[in-house]
Each structure stands twice: as C-alpha cells, then as structure tokens.
Amino acid sequence: MRKIILFSVAMLTAVASFAKMNYTVEIDTVGKYLNVRLEYVASEKGQQIAELQMPVWAPGYYDIINYPKYLTDFKATKTDGTPLSWRKYRRSTWIVDMLGADTIIVSYRTYADKMDVADNRITNKGAFITGNGTFMYEHGHKYEPVEVSYIIPDNWQHISTGLKAKEGTKSTFVVPDFDVLYDSPLLIGNHFVEKFTHNGHEYEFAFDPGDDYEGSTFKQDFIAMVDAATGIMKDIPYDNYCIINMEGTGGGLEHLNSQADYSNGRFKVEDRANYIRELDFIAHEYFHLYNVKRIRPIELGPFDYSQEAFTPLLWFSEGFTSYYSAQTLLRGKVISIEELLGIYSQHIYDIETNEGQKHMSLRQCSYDIWLDFMSDNKNYRDVTISYYRKGTYMGLFFDAKIRTITNGERSLDDFMRLLYNRYYKELQRGFTEEEFWQALHEVIGTGKQADDATALLRRYVDTTDEIDYDALLNPIGIALNHETWQLSLIEKPTKQAAKMRKAFLGK
C-alpha cells in the first residue's frame, strides 16, 4: 500500500509588493520522492516572469550539495492547466514566463533517499525534511513571513522541529522568512519524543529509535550542559529547542534553535569514552546556536544560497565551538578535569601527528574546506588540517593568554560575550576579520604585552609556524608531553599558575 503525507507552506503577504507562495508537498514513501506543488501569486499586476531559486548549499555544511540535482519533472501552468514556457538559468534558477497570469502553478519532484543531515530522507516509517532541498524562493523575496501546516496520516504520530506550533494547533507553524524555513528541519513519523520545560524554556528530544533512552543519564547531563552554556553567555536566545537525533553513520548540523544529528542513536553506553564523545558531539551542535548562528563572521549571513560563503574565520566558528562543548560539560560537572584534558589532548595529537600541519594554516583551511569537505583523497592528511581540531586547542590558547595577560581578570568568556552583545545584539550583524582581532585586543588590554599576545595568536592562526605550547600553557598550570601529546596538570605549579589554573578549571 502506498503511504503518503501532505503538508503545505503558505506565504503570507505583509505588503503589496510581496509574492504569495502556497506549497503542497506529497511524500511518496515507495518512490522516495517529495512531490512539490507551488501556487504562486505574483507580487505585481502584469508581472512578466517568476524567477524561482533553490539553494545549492546549507549553512553550517560547507560543501556545495547542489540540491537541484535531485529535482526532476519541473512544470509550470496557468490555473486552468494551460502550459507555460520556462527556462533553466545556471544551476539553481528556473524562470517561468507568466504570459499575463497573476497566479501560476509550478510542480516538481525531488528525490529523498540520502542519510545525511543536510539532505532529505524518506523511509516507510517517517521522513527527515530539510527546507533547502525542498522549497524554492522567488529571487529578491526571501524575507517574507511563512505559515507552514502539516497534514499527517494516522500512522505517523509526531512532527518534531524547532518551529513552534501556532497557538491552538498541532501542525501549523508561523515562520518569518525563508532563512528560518531553511534553518528548521523536521522529523515526521513514529520516533521517540520527550518534551519538557527547564528554566522557562521548552525542550524536545526527537530520537529515532531512542529505544534505550529511558533509564539513561542523558537528560540530566544535557540540562547540566545547557545551564553551563547559558551561564557563560548570560543569555538564552530561544523560547524552545529541539534535538533531532537519528541512528546512522554520523554527522550533525546546527540550526537556529535546533540540531539534527545522525549518530549511533544510543544513550546507555557502557563505554564511558564513547558516551562522552556523544555528549561532546551534541554539546558542540548546541553551542553553535551562539557561535555561528549569532556570533558570526560577516560572510555568514545574510545568506546567498546560490554560491559558497567564503570566510577566513571558520576555524573560530567551528574550533571555538568544540572548545566550549567540552568546557560546558566540565562546568556542568558532567566530565572530570582529566576527561577534559583528554579531549583537548586528542585534538593536539591528531594535528601534531599529521603532516598536513606543516602545509596548511588555520586561516587557509577556513577557505579550502569548500574544496575538500569530507575528502577521501589519499593524500588528504598529508596536505591539510582540520579546523575543528586545531581550532579547538587554539581556543585553549586564547583562553590561557587572556587569563595570563589580564592576571585572571578576564577570560575567553569575556571575548565571546563581547562579540555576542556588540555584533549580534547591538549591531545585528556579523564581524569582519579585523573587527575580530580588534575585539580580542580590547579584551586583553593595552600596552606592549597585550600587543605581543595578540600578534602571537594571530601568527599561529595565519601561518604554519611551530607552536610554543609550554609558553602558552605552563602559566595556567598545564603541561604538554611532547612525545605523547598528552596534557596534564603540573604537579607543583607556581603560585600564580595555580591561581590561573584554579580559575580555568573551576576549582
């Protein structure tokens, strides 16, 4: 028996110049297609063409996915069925000749059978849907309110998403624009769901399968991590937050108030090291709601979905997020100091035992990731580095330097809050590369010592120069074994180093 699900996306008009777009999507669980129907009402009388565009990438996933490659059977007609001519423009734009019609019907199918956090996937028991690979927007009309309604068959029980249901409804969502629509994936089906409230904010766990969640410590560990993260940033920028976690081969993607992950789907992990890796993974995607979704390089928004968004600061957006994912677990008392140092040590080991660190800087890596995202080239480790890994311990270096230069009066937390409050909350934009370094200098202070510290950190980012780990870490009471690349606490630190370490480790 063929199973289908229908849902519609209705674009609401706020001013006369807005187009109105009503989408209906049929999910075919046999053929694994999203059958899309668009009712498009022109923004102006006598409009000659409709220029419809589909994204080719998803923010946070630094690779050209080329969503149009999944699309087939594009058609356009008047409301009475009269065919309209159309032409493809470049890789992601369809231009329809409207022939004097104020309303037209566009239809197409897009294939959905890839297990990836940035792609659509349909099974016989549910569907994971990303807006980027499903909906077209009209060129120049991304920023218009959207209302989304889902009609679900009886055997599919749940809709899980970061979108908040409209009051009095279960399956209608009000979305302000296409950026939010594209940033709000959803899981529909019969997966495990738990909803709860913490400190006045609503949370949802959507786990597939989630069969071993009950009796695990995941919920209390997650709450502890959230409290630590929000305590660092002194703000909670969402009303509700959703974790979509599906069993698969790995990978996660951050969103404005949600995350979508393919992981091992398990929460009772007898091997504590594996459980910590899972927690660190989820904490990473969570902290992204601050660092990259709101604290962001200026190149990462507003988004141009038709081409790459190159920035020299991905090492900060990804690496510092990894630094803080472990920090939030430590500060939430979920992991020990030894486990924290073990996480950071692994990142150092992976870079220092990788030939690529002699050939690629962090700054260069931030650009070149668009060329080799998840590369399987045989020489990959010989010529490249991971900004996740080196960026993580660069966060450690920033924190150590700020604490040392300011005699413990400031830390990396102050730097993150400065960027958050100034650029996200006050200026409501991203920051340039120079503004980033100026903000760091502002936190460190003035004088030659501060100048030298900022210049040193920038040199380590911009070049492949050998890093003086001891000079950076010993002042906060931490040592590095240069044979095993393992971090440890100095047994008898100086009085000053002991003070710095106590503040750094929270004890």
Q: Which residues pair with 89 in a beta bridge?
A: 93
Neighbouring residues of 44: CB distance < 8 A, sequence distance ≥ 6: 17
Report the 3 state secondary structure along 69-98. HHEEEEEEEECCCCECCEEEECCCEEEEEC
Question: Of 401, 396, 435, nearest to 418 (Cα)?
Answer: 435
Q: Residue 265 — pLDDT band, cuts 50, 70, 90?
A: low
Q: Among 145, 124, 141, 129, which residue's Cα sits nearest to residue 58?
A: 129
Note whether 173 and 204 are same-domain residues: no
Identify whether the C-beta of residue 439 lies closer than 8 Å to the C-beta of residue 302.
no
Confidence class of residue 10 from pLDDT cuts 50, 70 and 90?
A: very low
Listed in sequence order, the residues at least 6 apart from 416 whose beta carbon sits closer than 8 Å to its beta carbon are: 232, 233, 290, 291, 295, 320, 324
Residues 87 and 177 in one domain: yes
Element (H, E) at 56: none
- Judge if the upstream peptide bond of residue 302 is cis by omega within 30 degrees of 0: yes
Instruction: Please give the single-letter amino acid code of residue 243.
Output: I
Encode pLDDT of 346-360 as tens digits.
999 999 999 999 999
How many whole angstroms separate alpha carbon 229 and alpha carbon 235?
9
How confident is the model at residue 315, as a pLDDT? 98
| Mean pLDDT within 195-215 | 94
Task: Give the side-chain half-sphere CA count within 13 A for 452.
Answer: 6
Q: Do the Cβ atoms of 109 and 36 come closer than 8 Å?
A: yes
pLDDT digits (tens, 9 = 90+) for 378-405: 787 789 999 999 999 999 999 999 999 9
pTM: 0.94
Q: Is residue 138 located within the same domain as residue 182?
A: yes
In the chain, the amino acid numbered 142 is K
Are residues 386 and 406 both part of a single domain?
yes
The answer as to whether 278 is a domain residue is no
Let me know whether 89 and 135 are in one domain: yes
For the domain that residue 163 is a member of, what is the CATH number? 2.60.40.3650
Where helices occur in 288-386 by DSSP H, the ranges are 314, 321-331, 337-352, 362-368, 380-383
> Are 208 and 352 within one domain?
no
Residue 352 structural domain: 290-465
The string of pLDDT tens digits covering residues 450-494 is 999 999 999 999 999 999 999 999 999 999 999 999 999 999 999
pLDDT on residue 375: 67
Bridge partners of 109, per DSSP, are: 35, 72
ω before 209 within 30° of 0 (cis)?
A: yes
Pairing assessment for the beta strands 258-263 and 240-247 based on DSSP bridges:
parallel
Clarify whether residues 183 and 196 are in a common domain. no
- 437 shares a domain with 410: yes
For residue 195, give the CATH number of its domain. 3.30.2010
Using the 3D structure, point to which of 133, 153, 188 is the last residue of a domain. 188
Is residue 106 situated within a structural domain?
yes
Domain count for the chain: 3
pLDDT in tens, 87-132: 999 999 999 999 889 999 999 999 999 999 999 999 989 999 999 9
Is 348 within 8 Å of 237 (Cβ atoms)? no
Considering the domain architecture, whether residues 8 and 154 belong to the same structural domain is answered as: yes
CATH number of the structural domain spanning residue 357: 1.10.390.10
Residue 471 lies in a domain: no
Question: Given a cut of 90, is residue 25 above it in pLDDT?
Answer: no
Q: Which of 446, 465, 484 delimits the end of a domain?
A: 465
Are residues 318 and 197 part of one domain? no
Q: Is the residue at 13 inside a domain?
A: yes
pLDDT score, position 290: 98
pLDDT-derived band at 377, boundaries 50, 70, 90: confident
Q: Is 496 within the bounds of a domain?
A: no
Q: How much of the chain exceeds pLDDT 90, in percent? A: 79
pLDDT score recorded for residue 373: 73
Say yes or no: 249 and 359 in one domain.
no
Inside any domain, residue 8:
yes
